Structure 1
Protein backbone atom coordinates (compact mmCIF):
# COMPACT_ATOMS: atom_id res chain seq x y z
CA UNK A 1 0.00 0.00 0.00
CA UNK A 2 2.86 2.37 0.83
CA UNK A 3 4.41 1.85 -2.60
CA UNK A 4 1.14 2.85 -4.27
CA UNK A 5 0.96 6.06 -2.26
CA UNK A 6 4.59 6.84 -2.97
CA UNK A 7 4.12 6.43 -6.72
CA UNK A 8 1.08 8.71 -6.68
CA UNK A 9 3.01 11.69 -5.32
CA UNK A 10 3.73 14.42 -7.83
CA UNK A 11 7.31 14.85 -9.08
CA UNK A 12 9.35 17.49 -7.32
CA UNK A 13 12.28 19.71 -8.17
CA UNK A 14 13.90 19.07 -11.51
CA UNK A 15 12.23 15.69 -12.11
CA UNK A 16 11.65 14.75 -15.72
CA UNK A 17 8.45 14.08 -17.64
CA UNK A 18 9.19 12.02 -20.70
CA UNK A 19 12.85 12.94 -20.37
CA UNK A 20 12.12 16.69 -20.35
CA UNK A 21 13.09 18.74 -17.30
CA UNK A 22 10.65 20.84 -15.35
CA UNK A 23 12.61 23.92 -16.40
CA UNK A 24 12.15 22.99 -20.07
CA UNK A 25 8.42 22.47 -19.49
CA UNK A 26 8.19 26.01 -18.09
CA UNK A 27 10.15 27.34 -21.09
CA UNK A 28 7.68 25.56 -23.38
CA UNK A 29 4.77 27.07 -21.44
CA UNK A 30 6.34 30.51 -21.77
CA UNK A 31 6.58 29.95 -25.53
CA UNK A 32 2.90 28.97 -25.71
CA UNK A 33 2.11 32.08 -23.65
CA UNK A 34 4.08 34.20 -26.12
CA UNK A 35 1.98 32.75 -28.95
CA UNK A 36 -1.21 33.42 -27.00
CA UNK A 37 -0.33 37.04 -26.26
CA UNK A 38 1.04 37.78 -29.73
CA UNK A 39 -1.77 36.15 -31.67
CA UNK A 40 -4.36 37.46 -29.24
CA UNK A 41 -3.21 41.05 -29.66
CA UNK A 42 -3.03 40.84 -33.45
CA UNK A 43 -5.69 38.34 -34.41
CA UNK A 44 -8.52 38.36 -31.86
CA UNK A 45 -9.80 41.85 -32.72
CA UNK A 46 -10.17 40.78 -36.34
CA UNK A 47 -11.95 37.57 -35.36
CA UNK A 48 -14.34 39.38 -33.07
CA UNK A 49 -15.14 42.31 -35.35
CA UNK A 50 -14.90 41.95 -39.11
CA UNK A 51 -16.83 42.72 -42.26
CA UNK A 52 -19.58 40.16 -42.98
CA UNK A 53 -18.05 39.56 -46.43
CA UNK A 54 -14.47 39.04 -45.18
CA UNK A 55 -12.84 35.77 -46.32
CA UNK A 56 -11.32 35.14 -42.90
CA UNK A 57 -9.11 32.21 -43.90
CA UNK A 58 -5.88 33.46 -42.29
CA UNK A 59 -7.55 34.89 -39.15
CA UNK A 60 -9.38 31.59 -38.67
CA UNK A 61 -6.18 29.56 -39.00
CA UNK A 62 -4.38 31.86 -36.58
CA UNK A 63 -7.37 31.67 -34.23
CA UNK A 64 -7.02 27.88 -34.21
CA UNK A 65 -3.30 28.20 -33.41
CA UNK A 66 -4.25 30.58 -30.58
CA UNK A 67 -6.75 28.10 -29.12
CA UNK A 68 -4.29 25.22 -29.37
CA UNK A 69 -1.59 27.32 -27.69
CA UNK A 70 -3.99 27.69 -24.76
CA UNK A 71 -4.04 23.90 -24.48
CA UNK A 72 -0.23 23.96 -24.70
CA UNK A 73 -0.07 25.82 -21.40
CA UNK A 74 -1.51 22.76 -19.66
CA UNK A 75 -0.02 20.06 -21.90
CA UNK A 76 3.27 21.44 -23.23
CA UNK A 77 4.66 18.16 -24.56
CA UNK A 78 1.44 16.90 -26.09
CA UNK A 79 1.10 20.17 -28.03
CA UNK A 80 4.65 20.08 -29.45
CA UNK A 81 3.27 19.49 -32.98
CA UNK A 82 1.91 23.04 -32.78
CA UNK A 83 5.40 24.43 -32.18
CA UNK A 84 6.78 22.18 -34.94
CA UNK A 85 4.10 23.56 -37.28
CA UNK A 86 5.07 27.11 -36.36
CA UNK A 87 8.75 26.32 -36.89
CA UNK A 88 8.07 24.70 -40.28
CA UNK A 89 5.82 27.32 -41.83
CA UNK A 90 7.94 30.23 -40.67
CA UNK A 91 11.13 28.59 -41.90
CA UNK A 92 9.50 27.86 -45.27
CA UNK A 93 8.32 31.47 -45.52
CA UNK A 94 11.77 32.81 -44.66
CA UNK A 95 13.59 30.57 -47.15
CA UNK A 96 11.08 30.73 -49.99
CA UNK A 97 9.54 34.19 -49.74
CA UNK A 98 11.47 36.30 -47.25
CA UNK A 99 14.95 35.57 -48.55
CA UNK A 100 14.03 36.15 -52.21
CA UNK A 101 12.26 39.44 -51.43
CA UNK A 102 15.12 40.58 -49.21
CA UNK A 103 17.70 39.75 -51.89
CA UNK A 104 15.59 41.58 -54.50
CA UNK A 105 15.54 44.67 -52.26
CA UNK A 106 11.74 44.59 -51.92
CA UNK A 107 11.67 46.45 -48.60
CA UNK A 108 8.00 47.44 -48.65
CA UNK A 109 6.42 48.32 -45.32
CA UNK A 110 4.35 45.10 -45.45
CA UNK A 111 7.42 42.94 -46.13
CA UNK A 112 9.41 44.67 -43.37
CA UNK A 113 6.57 44.10 -40.91
CA UNK A 114 6.17 40.45 -41.92
CA UNK A 115 9.93 39.85 -41.78
CA UNK A 116 10.29 41.40 -38.33
CA UNK A 117 7.40 39.31 -37.02
CA UNK A 118 8.51 36.01 -38.58
CA UNK A 119 12.33 36.02 -38.72
CA UNK A 120 13.11 35.57 -35.00
CA UNK A 121 10.56 32.78 -34.51
CA UNK A 122 12.41 29.85 -36.13
CA UNK A 123 15.46 30.58 -33.99
CA UNK A 124 13.31 30.74 -30.85
CA UNK A 125 11.45 27.52 -31.68
CA UNK A 126 14.66 25.70 -32.60
CA UNK A 127 16.07 26.58 -29.17
CA UNK A 128 12.89 25.87 -27.18
CA UNK A 129 11.78 22.57 -28.74
CA UNK A 130 13.17 19.58 -26.82
CA UNK A 131 14.73 17.81 -29.80
CA UNK A 132 15.64 14.68 -27.83
CA UNK A 133 11.98 14.23 -26.92
CA UNK A 134 10.94 14.90 -30.53
CA UNK A 135 13.43 12.31 -31.79
CA UNK A 136 12.32 9.69 -29.23
CA UNK A 137 8.58 10.24 -29.74
CA UNK A 138 8.21 11.23 -33.39
CA UNK A 139 11.17 9.63 -35.17
CA UNK A 140 12.38 6.60 -33.19
CA UNK A 141 9.08 5.43 -31.69
CA UNK A 142 7.15 3.03 -33.93
CA UNK A 143 4.13 4.55 -35.64
CA UNK A 144 0.56 3.36 -35.41
CA UNK A 145 -0.41 0.30 -37.41
CA UNK A 146 -1.75 0.75 -40.90
CA UNK A 147 -3.99 -2.32 -40.85
Structure 2
Protein backbone atom coordinates (compact mmCIF):
# COMPACT_ATOMS: atom_id res chain seq x y z
CA UNK A 1 0.00 0.00 0.00
CA UNK A 2 2.85 2.42 0.83
CA UNK A 3 4.34 1.83 -2.62
CA UNK A 4 1.00 2.77 -4.22
CA UNK A 5 0.79 6.03 -2.21
CA UNK A 6 4.37 6.98 -3.13
CA UNK A 7 3.84 6.71 -6.91
CA UNK A 8 3.85 9.98 -8.89
CA UNK A 9 0.17 10.75 -9.61
CA UNK A 10 -1.09 9.75 -6.18
CA UNK A 11 1.82 11.35 -4.33
CA UNK A 12 1.31 14.72 -6.12
CA UNK A 13 -2.43 14.61 -5.45
CA UNK A 14 -1.89 13.91 -1.75
CA UNK A 15 0.69 16.73 -1.49
CA UNK A 16 -1.70 19.21 -3.08
CA UNK A 17 -4.42 18.16 -0.62
CA UNK A 18 -2.01 18.66 2.29
CA UNK A 19 -1.11 22.15 0.99
CA UNK A 20 -4.78 23.06 0.60
CA UNK A 21 -5.66 22.10 4.16
CA UNK A 22 -2.59 23.79 5.64
CA UNK A 23 -3.62 27.09 3.99
CA UNK A 24 -7.19 26.73 2.64
CA UNK A 25 -7.68 30.45 1.94
CA UNK A 26 -4.37 31.83 0.62
CA UNK A 27 -5.89 35.16 -0.47
CA UNK A 28 -7.79 35.79 2.74
CA UNK A 29 -7.04 38.65 5.09
CA UNK A 30 -3.95 38.60 7.27
CA UNK A 31 -4.01 37.41 10.92
CA UNK A 32 -4.80 40.13 13.45
CA UNK A 33 -4.78 40.06 17.26
CA UNK A 34 -6.14 42.68 19.69
CA UNK A 35 -4.72 42.76 23.22
CA UNK A 36 -6.00 45.05 25.94
CA UNK A 37 -3.79 46.52 28.67
CA UNK A 38 -4.77 48.92 31.43
CA UNK A 39 -3.73 51.97 29.38
CA UNK A 40 -4.04 50.93 25.72
CA UNK A 41 -5.21 48.45 23.12
CA UNK A 42 -2.50 46.72 21.10
CA UNK A 43 -3.41 45.67 17.59
CA UNK A 44 -0.89 43.19 16.17
CA UNK A 45 -0.98 42.20 12.49
CA UNK A 46 1.17 39.40 11.06
CA UNK A 47 2.53 40.65 7.72
CA UNK A 48 5.55 38.53 6.73
CA UNK A 49 7.23 39.54 3.48
CA UNK A 50 5.44 42.90 3.34
CA UNK A 51 7.37 46.18 3.00
CA UNK A 52 6.53 49.10 5.25
CA UNK A 53 5.53 51.15 2.18
CA UNK A 54 2.74 48.65 1.38
CA UNK A 55 0.98 49.20 4.73
CA UNK A 56 -1.59 51.91 5.34
CA UNK A 57 -3.33 52.69 8.66
CA UNK A 58 -6.52 54.79 8.77
CA UNK A 59 -8.55 55.99 11.75
CA UNK A 60 -12.27 56.81 11.56
CA UNK A 61 -14.06 57.64 14.83
CA UNK A 62 -14.15 54.29 16.70
CA UNK A 63 -12.51 52.24 13.91
CA UNK A 64 -8.91 51.56 12.92
CA UNK A 65 -8.27 49.99 9.50
CA UNK A 66 -5.02 48.34 8.43
CA UNK A 67 -4.67 47.90 4.65
CA UNK A 68 -1.96 46.09 2.71
CA UNK A 69 -1.41 46.76 -1.00
CA UNK A 70 0.23 44.16 -3.21
CA UNK A 71 1.42 45.21 -6.64
CA UNK A 72 3.36 42.99 -9.01
CA UNK A 73 4.52 43.89 -12.51
CA UNK A 74 5.80 41.11 -14.76
CA UNK A 75 7.44 42.01 -18.07
CA UNK A 76 8.71 39.48 -20.58
CA UNK A 77 10.46 40.40 -23.82
CA UNK A 78 11.94 38.16 -26.52
CA UNK A 79 13.66 39.98 -29.38
CA UNK A 80 14.32 36.79 -31.37
CA UNK A 81 10.63 35.92 -31.59
CA UNK A 82 9.51 39.59 -31.59
CA UNK A 83 7.09 39.54 -28.70
CA UNK A 84 6.56 41.60 -25.58
CA UNK A 85 4.27 40.62 -22.73
CA UNK A 86 3.44 42.62 -19.64
CA UNK A 87 1.04 41.82 -16.82
CA UNK A 88 0.22 43.67 -13.65
CA UNK A 89 -1.46 42.35 -10.52
CA UNK A 90 -2.90 44.56 -7.81
CA UNK A 91 -4.46 43.21 -4.62
CA UNK A 92 -5.56 44.89 -1.43
CA UNK A 93 -6.39 43.25 1.88
CA UNK A 94 -7.68 45.14 4.88
CA UNK A 95 -8.87 44.48 8.40
CA UNK A 96 -10.88 46.86 10.57
CA UNK A 97 -10.97 46.90 14.36
CA UNK A 98 -13.85 48.60 16.19
CA UNK A 99 -13.08 50.01 19.63
CA UNK A 100 -15.66 51.10 22.24
CA UNK A 101 -14.32 54.67 22.38
CA UNK A 102 -13.28 57.35 19.87
CA UNK A 103 -9.68 57.10 18.70
CA UNK A 104 -7.41 60.15 18.90
CA UNK A 105 -5.26 59.69 15.79
CA UNK A 106 -2.58 62.01 17.20
CA UNK A 107 -1.88 59.56 20.03
CA UNK A 108 -1.80 56.35 17.96
CA UNK A 109 1.67 54.81 17.57
CA UNK A 110 2.72 52.12 15.08
CA UNK A 111 5.89 50.07 14.66
CA UNK A 112 6.84 47.38 12.14
CA UNK A 113 9.58 44.82 12.81
CA UNK A 114 10.22 41.30 11.52
CA UNK A 115 6.84 41.04 9.80
CA UNK A 116 4.82 42.17 12.82
CA UNK A 117 2.92 45.45 12.76
CA UNK A 118 2.06 46.68 16.26
CA UNK A 119 -0.38 49.57 16.60
CA UNK A 120 -0.84 51.07 20.07
CA UNK A 121 -4.11 52.91 20.66
CA UNK A 122 -4.26 54.65 24.07
CA UNK A 123 -7.55 54.26 25.93
CA UNK A 124 -9.68 57.37 26.26
CA UNK A 125 -11.08 58.28 29.62
CA UNK A 126 -14.83 58.53 29.62
CA UNK A 127 -16.71 61.40 31.15
CA UNK A 128 -18.50 60.66 34.40
CA UNK A 129 -22.04 61.97 34.56
CA UNK A 130 -23.48 62.82 37.93
CA UNK A 131 -27.09 61.83 38.51
CA UNK A 132 -29.21 64.51 40.11
CA UNK A 133 -31.81 63.76 42.73
CA UNK A 134 -35.33 64.67 41.77
Fold agreement, TM-score > 0.5: no
TM-score, with length taken from structure 1: 0.23
TM-score (normalizing by structure 2): 0.24
From the two aligned structures, give the one with the greater strand fraction.
2
Larger CA Rg, structure 1 vs 2? 2
Structure number with the higher helix fraction is 1
